[in-house]
Structures are given as structure tokens and as C-alpha cells.
Structure 1
Amino acid sequence: MTARTSAAAIYSGTGDEVEIDRIEVAAPRRGEVLVRMRASGICGSDRHVLDGEWNVPSPTVMGHEGAGIVEELGEGVTGLAVGDHVALVWNQACGGCVNCQSGTPWACTDLRSNECVMPDGTTRLSRSGEDVFPYLAVGSMSEYAVVPASAAIRMPEELPFDIAALIGCSVNTGIGAVLNNARVTSGESAVVVGCGGVGLSILMGLRLAGAHPIIAVDRNPGKLELALRAGATHALLADDATADEIQRITGGGADVAFEAIGNSRTIPELPSHVRVGGRAVLVGMPPEGSMIPFDVLDLCYRGITIIASNYGGSVPARDFPRYAALYLAGRLPLDLLISNRIPLEEANGAFAAMRAGAEARSVVLFD
């Protein structure tokens, strides 16, 4: 087992761009695997870091939505083999705390990946002798990544790597919010505010669940076109009349509404889109320290349930293969999520397009 060098997109901690440089990637330790990356999505969570809205240790290899091929196993790894195709998990649960043991690993109380370190508190990445941190303990914008074996979920070989990468974050987050958190049932009405990668995934999850009507809301007409293809039955261009139109279509408010942006303006509006006794689901992640005002008396009077969704309330070992199977069966049109496939060197252009409201996701392809 020897260290490797790898091209990577590195955030220095200042500015709003990454630099492409080479790093050293150490061999996997006990319980870890080395993955040769084949695809990495460019996600809004990465942009939060570059725009100074979330704080992480630096320098940092960006990317947390990735897929690749297992190239080396650390000591003691079972259940994976060299050559396996895998999607990576950024929410790397410990497996031993009370929440992990009760089947809610997304609520792990001993999570270290948010600190951008491995479970033992260290990193396998360096540059000229200096530690480099993998974003959310993945660092998928690199030719190689080292992750715990439990964070590498085997995927079917016929599944494209770019689709597998998106299953690792946006797809899991969006569909999981529908099926695991809100537990939408057939015939319930739904609203989705924000039709980026996560919002489109929510729409696909709602169609799977049999929701009707499904109302998509966005300021970008191009995103609304994608929303209709993803499963929306109605598409509304966001304006001052949006809430009234939702009331008209649903006959008094939707059963459930999802906010998929993390915007301090749209989050407080979410309860106004649901009926008495309805559910408002917060999926989009806002900047750190965001304080959102709600009319608490209105929430209590109307019996509105606020549901906060983290990583789709998922169990990755269960949910990732399920979404892969649904895609291969033609029931999840996940290709709609990808607007551009780019080399690593074009990552900054993809972040700029995201800030400008690009219609779907860019995915870095290696090789």
C-alpha cells in the first residue's frame, strides 16, 4: 500500500474559487477504502463554503457528491472488493451511538464528517507536508478519495457514474425528504419551492409516492420546464400571486410543502402554502446562523407541522441501491438533473453558473 498523488480542486479558505493542484493521498487505514473517483457533482453545499456562508477547516478538497471504483482496501474491510463501483456517503455515521442503533444514522451523535475529518479525527490528504481536509470527509473533486468502508455503497456496474454520484447527495436528500421524512402518501397534494437538483429530486419522489397535484415553484422558466418533466403537474413562476394560485389549485392549501433552496425569504412563506393540519418540510440548507421568523400563533392555530430534513432521513445502505434500481427500471429520470459534464479544470465556471441560477447540475467527470 503506497501513497498516491492526485489532481484536486482545493479551497484555500479565502476568495470564492478553487485552485487545481496536486495533493498526496495516503493509503487507506484499517476499515477504510481508496476510491478512484469517476464523477463528482457540484452541489450548493460546496458553494456555501466558497461564498463564506459555511466555515470549514482549510485547505479543503471540495466535493462530497461522488462515485468511483474501489482501488484498494484497508485492513479488515469486508463486504467490498477491489473493482466495485460505489457511491460515496458524506454523512458518515459512527454505527454505534443510540441513533445509529435505532436506524436513524443521519442523526448520528458522533459524526465527524461535518468537521471534514475521518472518524479518527485525522485526514489522509496532504500537500507539501501540510494537512489538507476532505470536504465532509469525502473530497470528491479529486482523482482519489479515502473514506470509511461504510461510506462506500456498492452500485450496479451498469449505473452511470454521474448518476451514482448524484444519488450520493441531491437524489438521496430530495427523494428521502418525501419518502422518509414527510412520508407522503398517494393522493396527497404537494408544493415544491425551488427546482434545482434537490427540488427536482423531491418532485421525482412525489411522483413515485403518487402525490397529486404536484406544484413546482421557481423564478427560472427553464427550471420549471425541467420540473414538469420530473413529475410536477403544475409549474408556477414565483411572484406575489404564488400563494393565492397554490390555494386555488389545491382548494385551500397543499397537504405538504417543501422548501429546497435554504432561502431566508422563501422559508417563512412555506406554511402559507399548506392547509390546516398540513406539513412544511425544510430541505434546503441556509447559511450558518440563519434565523427564520415564523408566525407562531398561526402555526399553532392551524396545527402546522414543521419537519426539518437532513440528508433525506436516509439509511444509505438501504436507500442508495433502491434509487439506483428505480433509475435502471426507468422510474426515476435522473438524467434531467445534469446540465453539464465537465473536466475538473472547469469547476470554477460551474460554480459561477450555479450562482447565476443555472438550470440543473454540473458534474465533474474524471478520465
Structure 2
Amino acid sequence: MKSALLVALGKDLEVESLDPLAPGPRDVVVAVGASGICHTDLSVRNGLFPALVSGPMIGGHEGAGTVVEVGDQVTRVAVGDRVIASFRPACGTCAYCLSDRSHLCDSLGGFLRTPRARRQDGSEAVAMSGIGTFSDVLTCNEASVVRIRSELPDAHLALLGCGMTTGVGAVLFTAKVRPGSTVAVVGCGGVGQSVVQGAAVAGAARIIAVDPVESKRRTARKLGATDVVDPAAAPPDAQVKELLKGGGVDYAFDVVGTPDIVASTYRMVGKGGTLVLVGYGPMDGEFRAPAFDLQAQEKTVKGCVAGSAQVRRDYQMFVDLIESGRLSTGALVTQEIALTDVNTAMDALLKGEVIRSVITAF
């Protein structure tokens, strides 16, 4: 198998030939057709989440492909099925899965530590999020794949494994945006553009997209934003309130995660409004909000993991919405690349040059 491997934090991934370890009885082997490159992949490479990395790790957590082998206890998929790999597993038996909160499934920790391949020097490699989609072949527990009925290309389906599900789900399931409401989206990469689309599907009356990159603001308008804000022009919270004639939004989505931007996004929220934290910031990051303002104006701050989506229910629903033209993954794919270009694509993501690069040639 050919994979892009994180060997040292802060260093480029290394593309290597690995020997896959034999799948277990509940494991699935998938021929990967496409893998998106998410900002979280960049953050992991750059050392933002050191606690999540233990030894060499196959990168990638957003992918789609076809099942080529299954363990003898696998019941959810069969050889030949098209699947989306989910960066949040859904075991179906833990307390969270049984209470319709599979996005908080307890099984993830064990999957993160499961070796999946052996390097040429004999050392073993684990897989990011238990899947490791920066590889032509991946092995994972069946809890981490969802069978899909669709003719969409893998390059589009892959984005449901993280970006689109997180963004649209943040609107529909975490925040439960009401028709006719006002929404601000801060950070318009792949996830932020999906928040914009989710707000449009939810029937928001005003959708304000905030991003310093003009091309991303332009894309947000095409996907449903009614207004755009360049944070370099003036404080973005002040610009948002000016657009709303002094009031704040009903829902503000922070898709960046850095404490100063979270604080700015909080200031966009009006009375009775909700701040939703979608972007992953540093593990030790903190932001401050005035307690009196939070209480007296009855504001809410909510965390969001994987869009609060229940992947076995929602992946197919999102596919159906794409096929009906209500959502677009194709609009998020800036370029399709080879696995050997993974580091160049990450650098382009850091510079704001792309929304999503998708690996389609392994």
C-alpha cells in the first residue's frame, strides 16, 4: 500500500510503501477512490494536537472508496459496496450511540491506537481517526464506514466524511437554525462553505460570510450567502452588526477556532442568539465572554463535533440532497491531485489558495 505518513510533528508527510496488517474479524479493507485534505490534517501535521499523535501515523480522515475485503464478523458492509469513511465511528452499542449521539461514540480512542500497517524498518503505523485516508488502501473497523447508494464520483463523496457533514450538520443538528433567521459564518474553507449551504437549506433569511480571501467570499455568495465581509477592512463583528442595523445575528458559526476569532464571533451574536464552535483551535486555547452579557441577553455557546450528525442516518440524506441539487460538494473541490502532492496541497490550504484539494491519484 502507498500512504502519506506523519513521522514527526511539524514536518512534511512522507509518502512510503507500507505493508498492511491483516484485518481483524470486524475490520473492513477499502480501496480508496478519493481523500479530501482538510484544515485539521494541516493542524495535525503542524503539531496543534500533539496528544492525538502516537508514533508514525497514516494521515487523512476524509475519504470514500469501495470495499474489497471484510472480516468474518462484519455485518454492515460487503465486498463491492461503495462507502464513505467516517472520522467519527458509530459502534452502535455504546451509551452515546444508543441515545442518538453517535458523533460522540466511545470507540474512537481504541481505533486511534490500533496499528494498521508496518513500515519497511519494521515499525508499525496507526491511522488518523482510525481510518487514514491518505492511502490507496485503508483498513478500519466496520464502525468507521457507511454504505452509500450513489453514482456521484468518489472525489465528491469523500467530502461527506468530514467537511460537508460537519458544516451542514452544525446548522441542521447542532444549532437547529430556524427559517427566517440571521446567520454569520466566520471562516469559509470547506467546512465554512458547507455551513453556508446548510443555512440556505435551513431557510435562513440572511447569511453573512466572513473570510479574508476574496475568492472564498465569492464562492460563498454562489452557495447561498446574502452578504460577505472582509475582516481586513474593519473589525468583522462591527461590520456584521452594521449590516443588521445594530443588532446581532441569531446564529454565529466560528469555523476557525483561534481564541481571538472565537471572541470576535461571539460579539456578532444578538439577544437570544447562539454561538456554535465548529473549528478546532489549539487544545489549550481559551476565550473569554462577559458573564453578564451571556446571562442578561440569554445567549448560548455550543460546541460542535462532526456536525452532531448520525452518520448511518445522515450520510445518505446528504447524498440525496447533493443529487437533487440542494447541496454541492463539487463547488468545494478546487483541485484533484496525486498523493505525492499532499504537502504542496497542505501549504496551499495554509495560504488560503484552495477550498479543498482532493487526492484522486494514488
TM-score range normalised by the length of the shorter chain = over 0.9
**What is the match of residue 242 of structure 1?**
236
Residue 155 of structure 1 contacts residue 164 of structure 1 at CA under 8 Å; is this kept in 2?
Answer: no
Aligned amino acid, residue 340 of structure 1: Q
- The residue correspondences of 1:320-335 to structure 2 (distance < 5 A) are 320-335=315-330
**What is the match of residue 199 of structure 1?**
192
203-212 vs 84-93, greater mean Cα deviation: 84-93
SS in 2 for 1:175: helix
Aligned amino acid, residue 65 of structure 1: E
Aligned length: 357
**What is the match of residue 221 of structure 2?**
228
Deviations 1:309-344 (A, max 9, x none): 011001001111111111111111221111110000
**What is the match of residue 45 of structure 2?**
50
1:344 corresponds, among 327, 339, 343, to 339
Distance in 1 (alpha carbons) for counterparts of 2:33 and 2:81: 12
2:309 corresponds, among 289, 310, 314, to 314
**What is the match of residue 95 of structure 2?**
98
**What is the match of residue 359 of structure 1?**
354
Shift in Å, 1:151:
1.6
Distance in 1 (alpha carbons) for counterparts of 2:107 and 2:16: 32
Q: Which runs of 5+ in 1 are unaligned?
A: 1-5
SS in 2 for 1:112: helix
Residue 27 of structure 1 contacts residue 34 of structure 1 at CA under 8 Å; is this kept in 2?
Answer: no
- The residue correspondences of 1:1-367 to structure 2 (distance < 5 A) are 6-55=1-50, 56-112=53-109, 116-117=112-113, 122-128=114-120, 129-238=122-231, 239-251=233-245, 252-366=247-361
Distance in 2 (alpha carbons) for counterparts of 1:124 and 1:16: 21
Residue 37 of structure 1 contacts residue 366 of structure 1 at CA under 8 Å; is this kept in 2?
Answer: no
**What is the match of residue 3 of structure 1?**
none
Aligned amino acid, residue 209 of structure 2: A
Deviations 1:19-55 (A, max 9, x none): 1111111232111110011101111111111111111
RMSD value, Cα: 1.4
Shift in Å, 1:148:
1.4
Shift in Å, 1:185:
1.4
Change (3 A) 1:241 1:11: closer
Shift in Å, 1:268:
0.8
Q: What TM-score, normalized by structure 1, do the two folds share? A: 0.94
Distance in 2 (alpha carbons) for counterparts of 1:176 and 1:231: 16
Aligned amino acid, residue 196 of structure 2: L
Deviations 1:39-92 (A, max 9, x none): 011111111111111111121110010111100011121232211111001112
SS in 1 for 2:79: coil
Q: What TM-score, normalized by structure 2, do the two folds share? A: 0.95
Deviations 1:211-264 (A, max 9, x none): 011100111111100110111010111143432332233341111110111122
Shift in Å, 1:155:
1.8
SS in 2 for 1:246: helix
Residue 91 of structure 2 contacts residue 143 of structure 2 at CA under 8 Å; is this kept in 1?
Answer: no
Shift in Å, 1:138:
0.7
Using the aligned pairs only, state the percent identity: 34
192-201 vs 77-86, greater mean Cα deviation: 77-86
SS in 2 for 1:231: coil
Deviations 1:153-174 (A, max 9, x none): 1122401101111001000100
Aligned amino acid, residue 277 of structure 1: G
Aligned amino acid, residue 244 of structure 1: A
Distance in 2 (alpha carbons) for counterparts of 1:190 and 1:71: 43
Aligned amino acid, residue 313 of structure 1: S
Distance in 2 (alpha carbons) for counterparts of 1:32 and 1:316: 18
Distance in 2 (alpha carbons) for counterparts of 1:245 and 1:141: 40
Distance in 1 (alpha carbons) for counterparts of 2:336 and 2:258: 27
